């Protein structure tokens, strides 16, 4: 794994100070506590988008991440409301369940050419939505409501995570939780991309036949990456369900799956942190265009097309020239 330069360490420290100190300070001073929910949503959406970026990294187009976010939201909600499990324990279990479903789906279809995988993944979100409508345990169209706020976590009398229900402003607690998850996710992504597995993924992206000829088990790696991708979608969806304290079959739709993919394109497919920047710009960009009224969607789609035409490598390709591959 390449060592970070002094400038990169300084940038990382600035980023952490910004999200954990400066942003909460600004919100407290402005009294705009509603921004906590907005920024929490951006953090969670970037986590799910990071999973989609990983499938792009092996040369596959994933248009089904909304399905795994919905699976994660339902699994966590069921474990918390029906089994009485702690949310913090249900969170990784929701991700693992989503990853398990991905493995079952991926075993047959990841052997197909990329175009077929893209077509099949496109219908996954609708399939999971219809399944949620049909199963009794998901409560059909009524969904699962009154999900309790996350409880506290203590070890040897030391409170690691407070009980959200006792906090005056649980939105701040959700914001910090989402930011910690986001930081851990992208740190793990950076480590994975610069590991041996990451180098194998890169070789598959460039030429699968050549990678296979030198002994790379491409089907095995595809399934591993798809499982990791779905795990990230699952934990993102589970956290969303906890924030909303409810989950419905329509909580994540096909449009969300498409947006996860667009976040990666906009930020930059060649950059680990592309999904984070893409999510931030896409989320706030859509809100800014709200003033255009009925022309909002037209302006939104036109701007995306223009950006992809003139910045095919995403917004991060606008950075100042530096050492090639610094962020990989």
**254-267 helix and 34-57 helix, angle to the nearest 10 degrees:** 80
Task: Give the sign of the dihedral formed by CA 277, CA 190, CA 41, CA 44.
Answer: positive
Rounded to whole angstroms, the Cα distance separating 174 from 38 reads 11
Q: What angle do CA 144, 237, 115 make, to 5 degrees?
A: 120
Half-sphere exposure of 231 (CA within 13 A, CB side): 17
**218-244 helix and 65-81 helix, angle to the nearest 10 degrees:** 50
Task: Give 2's contacts (C-beta < 8 A, 6+ positions apart).
Answer: 194, 325
pLDDT (tens digit, 0 to 9) for every residue of the chain, 328 residues total? 567 778 878 888 999 999 999 999 999 999 888 899 999 999 999 999 999 999 999 888 899 999 999 999 999 999 999 999 999 999 999 999 999 999 999 888 887 766 678 888 889 999 999 999 999 999 999 999 999 999 998 888 788 899 999 998 899 999 999 999 999 999 999 999 999 989 888 888 777 777 777 777 888 899 999 999 999 999 999 999 999 999 999 999 999 999 999 999 999 988 999 999 999 998 888 777 777 778 888 888 888 888 878 888 888 888 644 444 445 5
pLDDT in tens, 264-273: 999 998 899 9
pTM: 0.91
Tokens 């300084």 correspond to: 10
Quote the pLDDT of residue 319.
61
Compute how many other C-beta atoms are within 10 angstroms of the C-beta atom of residue 33: 13
> Residue 247 gets which letter from DSSP?
B
């Amino acid at each position: 794994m390449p060592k970070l330069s002094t400038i990169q360490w300084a940038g990382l420290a600035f980023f952490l100070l910004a999200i954990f100190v400066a942003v909460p300070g600004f919100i407290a001073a402005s009294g705009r506590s509603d921004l906590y929910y907005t920024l929490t949503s951006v953090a969670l959406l970037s986590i799910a988008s990071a999973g989609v970026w990983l499938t792009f990294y092996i040369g596959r187009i994933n248009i089904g991440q909304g399905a795994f976010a919905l699976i994660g939201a339902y699994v966590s909600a069921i474990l918390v409301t029906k089994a009485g499990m702690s949310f913090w324990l249900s969170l990784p279990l929701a991700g693992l369940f989503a990853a398990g479903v991905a493995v079952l789906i991926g075993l047959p279809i990841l052997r197909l050419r990329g175009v077929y995988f893209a077509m099949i993944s496109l219908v996954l979100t609708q399939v999971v939505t219809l399944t949620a409508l049909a199963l009794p345990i998901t409560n059909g169209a009524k969904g699962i409501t009154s999900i309790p706020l996350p409880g506290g976590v203590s070890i040897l009398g030391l409170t690691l995570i407070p009980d959200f229900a006792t906090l005056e402003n649980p939105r701040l607690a959700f914001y910090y939780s989402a930011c910690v998850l986001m930081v851990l996710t992208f740190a793990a992504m950076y480590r994975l991309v610069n590991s041996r597995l990451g180098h194998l993924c890169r070789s598959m992206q460039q030429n699968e036949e050549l990678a296979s000829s030198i002994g790379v088990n491409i089907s095995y790696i595809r399934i591993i990456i798809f499982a990791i991708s779905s795990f990230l979608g699952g934990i993102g969806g589970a956290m969303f369900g906890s924030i909303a304290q409810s989950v419905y079959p329509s909580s994540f739709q096909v449009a969300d799956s498409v947006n996860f993919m667009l976040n990666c394109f906009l930020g930059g497919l060649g950059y680990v942190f592309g999904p984070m920047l893409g999510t931030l710009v896409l989320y706030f960009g859509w809100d800014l265009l709200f003033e255009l009224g009925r022309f909002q969607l037209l302006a939104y789609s036109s701007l995306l097309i223009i950006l992809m035409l003139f910045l095919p490598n995403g917004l991060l390709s606008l950075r100042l020239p530096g050492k090639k591959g610094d962020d990989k």
